[in-house]
């Protein structure tokens, strides 16, 4: 089969496997949305070994920066000034996240932003996660741990889907 069909089928089949894991045995530990973001990042960055390294390193760096930012936001009183302080805190952390691209291993700014965004999606959409106990705890509630797991697994699903597609692609004669 041609490469697009092979890739489409491999991504589809492995998406089914990932979904089974996310809603079944790994529910609450493996988030399909964070995994597919990393999966897509792997392909967007070139679908090669360097893409895998940068997807994982930059995305987890984004998770770290968001987790740190969330912790800082828990120190801001929830009063009339909170929106301004939240905006300022996020502004500074995003600038730092982007400036880190001066380091070669953190040069994929989109992957860093996707990790950052995934973390805030988890924190803001999941009840009782944006608090110091969760952010500093060593548990699967901590976004630095749980979102990073999903990112790593998702990046490797990207690798697997690429390899499977290559096996299914027929060579032109």
Q: What is the pLDDT of residues 140-151, one digit of tens each?
A: 999 999 999 999
pLDDT at 106 over 70: yes
* 27-84 residue pLDDT tens: 989 999 999 999 999 999 999 999 999 999 999 999 999 999 999 999 887 787 888 9
pLDDT by residue (tens digit) across 90-105?
Answer: 999 999 999 999 999 9
Residues 6+ apart with CB under 8 A from 33: 118, 121
As given in the structure block, the two tokens for residue 39 are: 């999966």
Domain holding 139, by residue range, is: 3-168
Overall number of domains in the chain:
1
Give burial (CB, 10 Å; 0-12/13-18/19+) of 72: middle
Q: How far apart are CA 35 and CA 45, in angstroms?
A: 15
Q: What is the pTM of this model?
A: 0.91
In this predicted structure, what is the pLDDT of residue 81?
A: 83
108 part of a folded domain: yes
Alpha carbons 24 and 9: distance in angstroms, whole number? 22
Question: Quick check: is 106 in a domain?
Answer: yes
pLDDT at 37: 97
CA distances in angstroms from 131 to 46, 65, 95, 169, listed in the order given? 37, 16, 24, 48
Nearest partner of 113 among 90, 130, 87, 129, judged by Cα: 90
Q: Is residue 173 part of a domain?
A: no
**Collapsing DSSP states into helix, strand and coil, what is residue 42?**
helix
In a domain, 47, yes or no: yes
Residue 171, pLDDT above cutoff 80? no
Give CA–CA dist 145/142, Å, rounded: 6
Percent of the chain with pLDDT over 90: 90
Q: Report the pLDDT value the prediction gives residue 44, as an integer from 0 to 100.
A: 96
């Amino acid at each position: 089969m041609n490469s697009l069909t092979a890739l489409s089928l491999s991504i589809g089949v492995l998406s089914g496997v990932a979904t089974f894991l996310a809603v079944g045995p790994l529910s609450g530990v493996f988030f399909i949305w964070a995994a597919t973001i990393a999966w897509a990042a792997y392909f967007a960055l070139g679908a090669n070994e360097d893409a895998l390294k940068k997807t994982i390193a930059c995305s987890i760096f984004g998770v770290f920066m968001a987790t740190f930012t969330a912790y800082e936001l828990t120190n801001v009183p929830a009063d009339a000034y909170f929106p301004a302080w939240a905006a300022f805190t996020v502004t500074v952390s995003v600038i730092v996240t982007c400036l880190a691209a001066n380091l070669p291993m953190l040069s994929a700014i989109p992957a860093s932003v996707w990790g950052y965004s995934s973390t805030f999606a988890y924190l803001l959409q999941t009840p009782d996660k944006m608090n110091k106990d969760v952010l500093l705890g060593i548990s699967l509630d901590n976004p630095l741990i749980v979102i990073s797991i999903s990112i790593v697994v998702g990046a490797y699903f990207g690798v697997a889907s690429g390899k499977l597609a290559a096996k299914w692609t027929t060579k032109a004669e």
